Amino acid sequence: MSEFDKRWDRREQRWEERRQRWETKMQRYHSHGHIWTGLIILIIGVAALLKAVAVPLPHWLFTWPMILIVIGFFSGVKCGFRNFSWFFLMLIGGAFLAGYIVPDIELRKFIWPSALIIIGLAFIFRPRRRQWWGENKNTEKKTTGFSTVDEAKVVDETQNSSEDILDTTSIFGGIKKNVLSKNFKGGDVTNIMGGTELNFSQADIKGEVILDMTQIFGGTKIVVPSDWDVKSDIIAIFGGIEDKRSLENISINPGKVLLLKGTSIFAGIEIRNF
C-alpha cells in the first residue's frame, strides 16, 4: 500500500469516527422529534399572532423562501444532517430570501449553478462506506455490486448483486438492481432527477436495517418479500410514499424490518411485494 493510500485510509477513519460521534449525538434529537415539530409550529403561531396585533415584523418572515428554510432545517434535524437535501432546501430558500431582503441584488441566476457545484462537491468528498455496521474494510473489492456508484447513466439491464451494503446513486438516469444478499445490512439510495428500482425478493435481513434515501425530482420502486415489515421515517415534501403491497400475501415477521429514512422532495416511493 502506497503512502498516499495510507493517508487516505487514516482520513477515512477520522471521518468515520466523527460520523459515529455525530450520529450518537443526534439520537437524542431523534427521540424528541415531536418536540422539534411542536417548537416550529409554536414559533410560526407566535409570529402570525404578532403580525395580527400589528407588531412590526420583517415582511420576509412570511414568504415562501422562509418556509423552505424552516423545512430544510427540520429535515436536517430528522436525518441527523447526514445527507445534503436539507442544505439544498436551505440554499434555495436563502438565495430567494436574499431577493426579498435586498431587492436590488439579483441572485436567482446563480442558484442552479451553485447548487450543482455543491452537490458535486458533496459526492466527491463524501466518505466511502467501508465500515458500516462492523464491515471489515478488507472486504472492499472491485465488483459490479452496490459498492459501485452509477451516475448519469441509464441502465438497460437489471444488475444482480450479493453485496450486503447498498450504495447507489442515479443522476439524470435510472438504475435497476436485484439484491441477492442473505444478510442485507442497509445502505444509501440517492436520486437526483433519476429513478431506482430495487428488488429484494431474493434477499433476507436480520433484525432492523436502515435504507437511507435522498430524492430530489426522482423516484424509487422497492419490491420486498411478503414477510418483511416496511416502516417509513421519510420526510416527504411535495411527494409521497405509496404502499401497493397485496394484503393477501403479507405475513409480517417482526424480526425482519426495513426502515426507510431520509428526504423525498418532489419525488415518490412505491413499495410492492411479490
Mean pLDDT of 242-259: 85
Model pLDDT for residues 39-95, shown as the tens digit of each residue: 767 877 887 788 788 778 787 877 888 887 887 777 677 666 666 667 777 877 887
pTM value is 0.54
224 near 271, Cβ under 8 Å?
A: yes
Q: Give me the mean pLDDT over the 93-109 stretch.
A: 74
Quick one: what percent of the chain has pLDDT higher than 90?
A: 9
pLDDT at 27 over 50: yes
Show the cell assigned to 13.
477513519
For the chain, the average pLDDT equals 74
Which region among 8-17, 164-173, 229-238, 239-248 has the lowest average model confidence (pLDDT)?
8-17
Question: CA neighbours within 13 Å on the CB side: how many for 179?
Answer: 28
**Angle at CA 158, nearest 5°, toward 144 and 185?**
60
Alpha-carbon distance values, 267 to 79, 119, 143, 214 (Å): 17, 18, 30, 10
pLDDT given for residue 137 in this prediction: 39
Average pLDDT for 112-138: 57
d(CA 238, CA 110): 24
Cβ–Cβ under 8 Å, residues 211 and 200: no
Q: Please state which of the ranges 26-35, 89-98, 157-166 shows the lowest mean pLDDT.
A: 26-35
The rounded distance, in Å, linking the Cα atoms of 47 and 61 is: 8
Q: Kindly report, residue by residue over 190-247, the tens digit of the pLDDT.
A: 888 888 999 998 899 999 999 988 888 888 999 999 889 999 888 887 778 888 888 7
Instruction: State the pLDDT at residue 134.
Output: 39
b (16+ CB within 10 A) / e for 11-20: ebeeebeeee
Residue type, 171: I
